[in-house]
């Protein structure tokens, strides 16, 4: 029988964990199409999440905790979980249960049709802010980075062990594992589902993390930012050249130009603003190049805790 590895990263989710484990147990008690292992990846939690996990009964699936030495971010936590999988298929889920566990069976049935990667694409998102950010991010990625990026976005995917092996060959510290998956090629399919609203705990997906995701995605998978620097430079050079010609002929015709401090200030602010933005974009690329050259690990596994399996 085939085995499915479920990777669930978490950070300070002690309120959600009992419900999460009960939901998984109920699901796998009736789901007999494949064996299951669940890999909980502790991304540096400082609450009692790990202790709560140890206290849960695991009757219908194998489980382990991959404990990271500190918080490395959810993307790196997913990569860490990948290195410890044993299944023929791998799927991502999350501790907040906004993505229903029934997705496992939906994705598995679809992948058996011959796909290497199957995406769970959202039909809708409950919160307006999440919907706006997801659609904006998806539009930017589809338009300027990865052409086959789903318009409604996604958080969940199932893929074969062959794809898993390709993913862990080159783990990037400041990137997106989902864009990495999309860029691999292979035959890809999708299923549709409704994302649920979080009922317990507080989301860790704040504005700063969303902003970092956008920057990481563009720098890792698009030349657009660096090309914008070149385009901006060309535009302002042409504008300056045309303005110089205009001033030259205007003075030849006897025109008078008022000299004002405000004009100089505006030009300086605009010029230095464009220059600093350009330097910032270039610095993003340079910093990531330096980060890769250091060969620092994107995550460090502190320990792997095998959880007991209680027979029914």
- pTM (2 d.p.): 0.71
Contact (Cβ atoms closer than 8 angstroms) between residue 40 and residue 66: yes
11 and 42 together in one domain? yes
d(CA 154, CA 134): 9
289 and 268 together in one domain? yes
Taking CA atoms, 86 is separated from 48, 57, 63, in Å, by: 27, 21, 12
pLDDT of amino acid 158: 93
Q: Which of 46, 294, 305 is closest to 173 using CA atoms?
A: 294
Structural domain total, the chain: 2
For the residues 130-156, what does the mean pLDDT come to? 69
In a domain, 135, yes or no: yes
pLDDT of amino acid 312: 42
17 and 106 together in one domain? yes
In a domain, 128, yes or no: yes
pLDDT of amino acid 311: 46
For the residues 231-235, what does the mean pLDDT come to? 71
pLDDT of amino acid 173: 67
3-state secondary structure of 126: coil
pLDDT of amino acid 164: 93
| pLDDT, tens only, 160-209 | 999 999 888 878 766 778 888 887 888 888 888 877 776 665 665 556 66
Check pLDDT > 80 for residue 129. Answer: no
115 and 157 together in one domain? yes
Sheet holding 89-92, edge to edge: 188-194, 117-124, 154-160, 89-92, 3-10, 35-42, 62-68, 301-306
| pLDDT, tens only, 167-179 | 888 787 667 788 8
pLDDT of amino acid 132: 66
d(CA 16, CA 179): 28
Instruction: Name the β-bridge partners of 117.
Output: 159, 188
31 and 180 together in one domain? yes
Helix axes 207-221, 261-294, angle to 10 degrees: 80
Higher per-residue confidence, 59 vs 196: 59
Query: Tell me, what CATH number does 13's domain have?
Result: 3.90.550.10
In a domain, 252, yes or no: yes
């Amino acid at each position: 029988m085939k085995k499915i590895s479920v990777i669930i990263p978490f950070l300070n989710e002690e309120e959600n964990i009992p419900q999460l484990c009960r939901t998984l147990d109920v699901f796998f008690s009736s789901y007999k199409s494949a064996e299951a292992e669940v890999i909980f990846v502790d991304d540096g939690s400082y609450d009692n999440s790990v202790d709560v996990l140890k206290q849960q009964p695991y009757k219908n699936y194998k489980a382990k905790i991959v404990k990271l030495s500190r918080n490395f971010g959810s993307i790196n936590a997913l990569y860490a979980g990948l290195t410890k999988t044993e299944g023929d298929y791998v799927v991502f889920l999350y501790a907040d249960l906004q993505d229903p566990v029934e997705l496992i069976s939906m994705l598995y049935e679809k992948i058996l049709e011959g796909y290497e990667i199957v995406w769970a694409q959202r039909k809708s998102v409950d919160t307006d802010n999440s919907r706006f950010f997801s659609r904006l991010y998806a539009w930017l990625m589809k338009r300027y980075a990865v052409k086959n990026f789903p318009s409604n976005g996604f958080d969940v995917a199932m893929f074969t062990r062959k794809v898993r092996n390709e993913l862990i060959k080159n783990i990037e510290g400041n990137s997106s594992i989902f864009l990495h998956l999309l860029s691999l090629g292979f035959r890809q399919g999708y299923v549709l589902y409704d994302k649920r609203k979080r009922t317990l705990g507080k989301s860790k997906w704040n504005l700063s993390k969303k902003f970092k995701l956008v920057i990481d995605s563009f720098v890792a998978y698009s030349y657009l930012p660096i090309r914008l620097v070149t385009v901006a430079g060309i535009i302002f050079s042409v504008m300056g050249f045309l303005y110089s010609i205009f001033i030259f002929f205007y003075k030849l015709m006897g025109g008078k130009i008022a000299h004002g401090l405000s004009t100089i200030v505006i030009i300086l602010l605009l010029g230095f603003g464009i220059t600093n933005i350009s330097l910032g974009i270039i610095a993003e690329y340079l910093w990531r190049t330096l980060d890769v050259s250091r060969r620092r690990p994107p995550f460090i596994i502190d320990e792997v805790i095998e959880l007991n399996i209680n027979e029914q």
